[in-house]
């Protein structure tokens, strides 16, 4: 609380209206969306669309005003976060997802697609007109900003996930229900999911049973760092909750590795996530999304096991293909894909092989020569890698044992993004995807 008080004092009296607004809406997490900052993060590693919005407003002398919720046209919503891209072909799988959804889901719903401000207007316009999708720039709702509770090191950790991935986890763990609070139920269906069939309409199934959450697959957490750190953290957090968490509920989360809800498809009552106990838990886990890459699936699963009645969480059969994990879900079970999706890919295999070569063997030389670090120009991998390591060790005060944990592509990115803080250098931004990455 003292830290939050200092934060508000630093923002000045002009922001007092935010406190009042949060009090009357009951959204503790909304404070961080409205007042979140980059916490000293390099500007080059912040979402470029967010920087463009803020710089445009600053140039015009306008304050940064964030939107807070989506207007509901139906009682329920289906939503996702799309990668976007500059080429219409980047939307081929997402369009297929929308077509599959409409074929099987009968309850009227709003189909909402959030993005980072990187849409192809023509492709999005065609999808909106043909399939009734409404597109929203998540940057305008406080997305893709490091919250005040988290501190990002200037030098990325070896083997770390991109910052954009962690922003995605935060959106699906903490921000979606704030933005969608006008809806009764909201269902997530990822952009690379194609639904083949449903036993029952998920909205009707939860309405008739008065359930608050539905899942299509139980799985286990495979991210080792999450299992190690979250299990340890829960051993301290649960006793601090006292009588608010019974012994029986505490036993349900003995390890986050077991029985986690696979969240690329889920359906939930929106208002449940505003319960004070749930809000307190979500605020407590927020920093670890950025420190240890805790994902939205273990966070959601743990919150439900700690605070929701077991009978209010139910299985809903949704059979679907999940492209990014190359598997299919059939009657609550993971099965291999009949086709791995390669034949339908718009990025040819020879380019993927070339991309791997660029990342591992070529990027260190290109980046080291671009910034003319000591020893440049380089024409082979080993001298370039050694030179980059030396520069990063000196500038960030890290030891040889630590720097040797980085891969060659990580070293090149660390030089351009973390040390030089340069969005216009030779390597594309971490969040560039699809055909924009290829070009």
Angle between helical axes of 276-291 and 296-307 (0-180°, round to 10): 150
Write down the pLDDT at residue 38: 40
**Band of residue 320 on the pLDDT scale cut at 50, 70, 90:** very high
Distances in whole angstroms, Cα of residue 34 to Cα of each of 7, 143, 256, 436: 12, 10, 31, 31
At 378-395, the pLDDT tens digits run: 999 999 999 999 999 999
For residue 272, is the peptide bond before it cis, meaning its omega torsion is within 30 degrees of 0?
no
The mean pLDDT of the chain is: 84
At 110-120, the pLDDT tens digits run: 999 999 998 99
**Band of residue 85 on the pLDDT scale cut at 50, 70, 90:** confident
Edge-to-edge, what's the strand order for the sheet holding 333-336? 193-198, 318-322, 327-330, 333-336
Cβ contacts of 204 within 8 Å, gap of 6 or more:
107
**Band of residue 429 on the pLDDT scale cut at 50, 70, 90:** confident
Structural domains present in the chain = 64-351 (3.90.550.10), 363-438 (no CATH)
As a whole-number percent, the residues of the chain with pLDDT over 70 amount to: 80
Cα–Cα distance for residue pair 31/12, rounded to 1 Å: 14
At 108-153, the pLDDT tens digits run: 999 999 999 989 999 999 999 999 999 999 999 999 999 999 988 8
At 12-35, the pLDDT tens digits run: 333 333 433 333 334 444 444 444
Residues in the chain: 439
Write down the pLDDT at residue 337: 72
At 228-262, the pLDDT tens digits run: 999 999 999 999 999 999 988 888 887 778 789 99
**Band of residue 417 on the pLDDT scale cut at 50, 70, 90:** very high
Global pTM value: 0.82
């Amino acid at each position: 609380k003292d830290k939050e008080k200092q934060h508000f004092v630093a923002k000045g009296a002009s922001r007092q209206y935010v406190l009042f607004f949060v009090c009357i809406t009951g959204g503790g997490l909304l404070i961080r969306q409205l007042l979140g900052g980059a916490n000293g993060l390099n500007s080059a590693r912040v979402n470029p669309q967010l920087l463009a919005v803020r710089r445009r407003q600053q140039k015009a002398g306008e304050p940064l005003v964030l939107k807070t919720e989506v207007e509901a046209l139906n009682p329920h919503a289906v939503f996702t976060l799309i990668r976007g891209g500059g080429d219409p072909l980047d939307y081929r799988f997402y369009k297929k997802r929308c077509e599959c959804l409409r074929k099987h889901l009968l309850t009227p719903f709003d189909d909402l697609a959030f993005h980072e401000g990187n849409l192809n207007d023509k492709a999005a316009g065609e999808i909106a007109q043909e399939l009734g999708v409404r597109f929203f720039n998540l940057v305008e709702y406080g997305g893709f900003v490091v919250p005040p509770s988290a501190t990002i090191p200037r030098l990325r950790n070896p083997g770390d996930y991109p910052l954009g991935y962690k922003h995605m986890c935060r959106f699906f763990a903490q921000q979606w229900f704030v933005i969608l609070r006008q809806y009764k139920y909201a269902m997530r269906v990822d952009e690379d999911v194609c639904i083949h069939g449903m036993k029952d309409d998920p909205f009707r199934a939860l309405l008739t049973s008065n359930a608050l959450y539905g899942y299509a697959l139980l799985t286990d957490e495979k991210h080792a760092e999450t299992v190690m750190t979250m299990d340890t953290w829960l051993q301290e957090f649960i006793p601090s909750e006292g009588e608010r968490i019974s012994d029986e509920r505490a036993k349900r989360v003995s390890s986050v590795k077991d029985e986690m809800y696979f969240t690329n498809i889920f359906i939930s009552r929106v208002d449940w996530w505003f319960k004070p106990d749930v809000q307190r838990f979500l605020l407590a886990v927020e920093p670890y999304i950025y420190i240890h890459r805790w994902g939205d699936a273990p966070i959601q699963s743990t919150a439900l096991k700690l605070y929701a009645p077991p009978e209010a969480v139910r299985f809903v059969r949704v059979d679907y293909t999940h492209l990014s994990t190359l598997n299919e879900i059939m009657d609550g079970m993971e099965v291999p894909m009949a086709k791995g999706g390669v034949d339908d890919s718009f990025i040819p295999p020879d380019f993927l092989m070339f991309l791997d070569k660029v990342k591992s063997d070529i990027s260190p030389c290109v980046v080291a020569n671009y910034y003319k670090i000591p020893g440049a120009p380089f024409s082979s991998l080993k001298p370039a890698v050694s030179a980059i390591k030396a520069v990063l060790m000196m500038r960030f005060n890290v030891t040889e044992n630590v720097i040797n944990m980085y891969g060659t592509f990580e070293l090149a990115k660390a030089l351009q993004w973390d040390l030089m803080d340069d969005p216009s250098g030779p390597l594309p931004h971490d969040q560039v995807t699809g055909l924009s990455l290829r070009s």
